[in-house]
């Protein structure tokens, strides 16, 4: 049975990473949380279309969310 991700905990964790993104003119919003542990985010502002956004998403945001929020397995960016 898949682990249910606590959406409130996920939002709290995103609030921890937001200041770093906002310092560079970007931001992130939560789009969807799937039962299989996949979290869909939308990168905004300077993050949207930035050449480093894939690295930011995987090495920064995903790494943090997987360790901070039980059940998160993967993070992807959606338009």
Q: How many domains does the chain have?
A: 1
pLDDT at 65 over 90: yes
- What is the pLDDT, as a whole number, of residue 14? 97
Judged by DSSP in three states, 39 sits in: strand
Handedness of CA 33, 37, 39, 40 (dihedral sign): negative
Domain that holds residue 54: 7-77
Ordered alpha helix ranges (H), the chain = 7-23, 53-55, 63-68
Domain of 48: which CATH number? 3.30.300.130
pTM above 0.75, yes or no: yes
Asked if residue 32 is part of any domain, the answer here is: yes
Asked if residue 11 is part of any domain, the answer here is: yes
- What is the pLDDT, as a whole number, of residue 52? 86
């Amino acid at each position: 049975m898949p682990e249910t991700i606590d959406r409130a905990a996920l939002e709290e964790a995103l609030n921890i990473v937001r200041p770093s993104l906002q310092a560079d003119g970007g931001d992130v919003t939560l789009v969807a949380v799937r039962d299989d542990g996949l979290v869909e985010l939308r990168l905004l502002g300077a993050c949207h279309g930035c050449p480093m956004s894939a690295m930011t998403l995987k090495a920064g945001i995903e790494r943090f969310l997987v360790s901070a929020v039980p059940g998160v397995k993967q993070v992807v960016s959606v338009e």
